[in-house]
Each structure stands twice: as C-alpha cells, then as structure tokens.
C-alpha cells in the first residue's frame, strides 16, 4: 500500500474532508450493507459469471468485498497519485475478466468487465450501501446531501473506468434506475447467481473465512429485498431477523462511543491524521 507523504495537502487528494464522500464514508458504517452490495452485484448474471470464472469465489467469497473496499477507500481518501494507481490496477484486472457467455446467459455472446451497464450496476450498489449504512447509524440523509454525494460519486466512477457522463444524470434519476434494477427480471435469472450468492453468505474456504461468514451471514440475508433473497435461494429466519434487530439497536450507539480509531476505515483515519483534521 502506498505511504502518503506527511506534507500532502488537501489539494493533493481527489476529494476533500468536507466532501460528502468523506462525510458519509469516513466511518465504516458502509460495512453494514457491504455484503448486501456484493449480493446485488452477483445477482446480475453477467457479473456472477465474471466472478465465477475469474476468482476463487468458493474459497475466498469475502475477498471481493475486501478488495472492493480497499479500492474504494484508496480512491475516496487517497491522493491523486493513489487514485491513479488504483485506476491502472483496476483496468488491468478488468481487462482479464472476459470470455464466452455461459448457456442461457442474457446479453451478448461474450462478457466483459468493461461493459458499461455492469460497471454502473456495481457502482450503484456501492452508492446504495454507503447511504443505507450511514442512515442506519446516523439517521436520515437529507435530499441535498444525497444529491451531492451522487454528483461526487459520478466523478469517483471515472477511476473505475466509467465515464463521468455515464448513467443517471442526478440522484433523482439514480433512485429510479436503482429501484428499476431491483425489480428487473435479469437479477437472479441464471443458476450462477444463486451459486455465487451462496458462497458469499456461507463461505467454505479457510477456517477464518467460515467463522467470519457465520458471524455476519445475517447481514446480506436481511439487507437485500425479500424477492431477491428468495430468487437467490436464501432464507430469512427468526435467528437472522433477531441478530439484525440487535445490530440496528447497537450500531448507532457503538459508532458514537467507540474511538474513531476503531470506527473509521484505516484509509480515512490515516488521511485525516495526515491533514490534521481528525
């Protein structure tokens, strides 16, 4: 990981500490909906095929979430140099994710990680997870802040390879797009979706992965829409609902009383210390 120079100023960063990207994402509240974001991503069959064919998803199912978080945070809280490094790395990774579509796969006969609609959907799930995680901990996010967050995220998306002018033009359009996607028949429409989703919720790799999966399996189950949960072959139980209810009560308190060193992402904590705004 790149070590930032101690004398880096606010102008060296892609986003400033008073940006909505920092305000909403500096705390790790997005983790509360991170697993749901991954489920929504792999619910798209063409993304599920890319994950199935180009990663060890059965033994490292949570690795996608960790890698995504690292990439997002290096851009959101990093210097311009950090962000450009991540842009180059992401392009190289995406360039390898291509191949022949599986039988019954909707869309073109060949898939690619560079398909704009797939990149847009991945970014959309991250926007949704960020807002929902923030609101669970800190309360409702005003419309004006949502709108600004979306404007900043469009700029953020350019580092993933998505042009700034791609996708919905404003937050209102984005909300309509996202709701439409949630109810689109394409999500969960191929057997690969349920197969990859099962590995996300119930990892079967190393002991650490299995234990972590059991500890947080209720999160993706209880934070995706019920109709998609059913389509992906997942089941809500009294146990998962109880654990989610406990989390909803405890998370706001925990984020308020624990030291920032424990509630911030490492990247945001280091950035704010470097800028002396912590």
Exposed/middle/buried for residue 236 (C-beta within 10 Å: 0-12, 13-18, 19+):
middle
Residue 76 located in a structural domain: yes
pLDDT tens per residue across span 78-88: 999 999 999 99
Summary mean pLDDT of the chain: 91
Is residue 222 situated within a structural domain?
yes
In-domain check, residue 253 = yes
Confidence of residue 161 (pLDDT cuts 50, 70, 90): confident
Q: Does some domain include residue 254? A: yes
Nearest to 269 by CA among 34, 76, 132: 76
- Would you say residue 5 lies in a domain? no
Residue 47 lies in a domain: yes
Residue 229 lies in a domain: yes
If one counts the domains in the chain, the total is: 1
How do residues 46-67 score in pLDDT, each as one tens digit? Answer: 999 999 998 887 777 677 778 8
Q: What is the DSSP letter of 99?
A: E
Each residue's pLDDT tens digit, 179-238: 999 999 999 999 999 999 998 898 777 777 777 777 889 999 999 999 999 999 999 999
| Residues composing the chain | 278
Please state, in angstroms and as integers, the Cα–Cα distance from residue 158 to each residue in 129, 154, 170, following that order: 19, 7, 16
Q: Cα(227)–Cα(186) distance, rounded to whole angstroms?
A: 13
- Give residue 69's domain range: 10-274
**Is there a domain that residue 2 lies in?**
no
Confidence tier at 123 by pLDDT (50, 70, 90): very high
């Amino acid at each position: 990981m790149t070590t930032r120079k101690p004398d880096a100023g606010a102008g060296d960063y892609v986003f400033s500490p008073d940006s909505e990207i920092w305000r909403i994402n500096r705390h790790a509240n997005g983790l509360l909906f991170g697993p749901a974001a991954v489920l929504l991503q792999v619910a798209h069959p063409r993304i599920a095929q890319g994950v199935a064919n180009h990663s060890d998803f059965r033994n490292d199912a949570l690795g996608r979430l960790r890698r995504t978080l690292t990439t997002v945070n290096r851009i959101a809280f990093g210097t311009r140099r950090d962000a450009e490094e991540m842009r180059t790395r992401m392009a190289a990774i995406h360039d390898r994710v291509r191949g022949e579509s599986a039988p019954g796969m909707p869309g073109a006969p060949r898939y690619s990680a560079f398909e704009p609609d797939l990149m847009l959907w991945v970014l959309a799930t991250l926007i949704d997870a960020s807002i929902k995680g923030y609101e669970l901990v800190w309360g409702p996010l005003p419309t004006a802040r949502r709108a600004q967050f979306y404007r900043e995220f469009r700029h953020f998306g350019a580092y993933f390879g998505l042009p700034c002018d791609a996708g919905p033009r404003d937050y209102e359009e984005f909300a309509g797009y996202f709701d439409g996607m949630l109810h689109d028949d394409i999500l969960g429409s191929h057997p690969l979706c349920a197969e990859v989703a099962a590995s996300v919720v119930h990892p079967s790799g190393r002991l650490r992965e299995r234990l972590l999966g059991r500890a947080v399996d209720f999160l993706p189950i209880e934070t995706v829409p019920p109709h998609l949960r059913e389509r992906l072959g997942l089941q809500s139980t009294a146990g998962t609902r109880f654990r989610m209810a406990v989390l909803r009560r405890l998370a706001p308190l925990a984020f308020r009383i624990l030291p920032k060193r424990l509630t911030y992402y490492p990247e945001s904590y280091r950035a704010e210390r470097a800028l002396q705004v912590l």
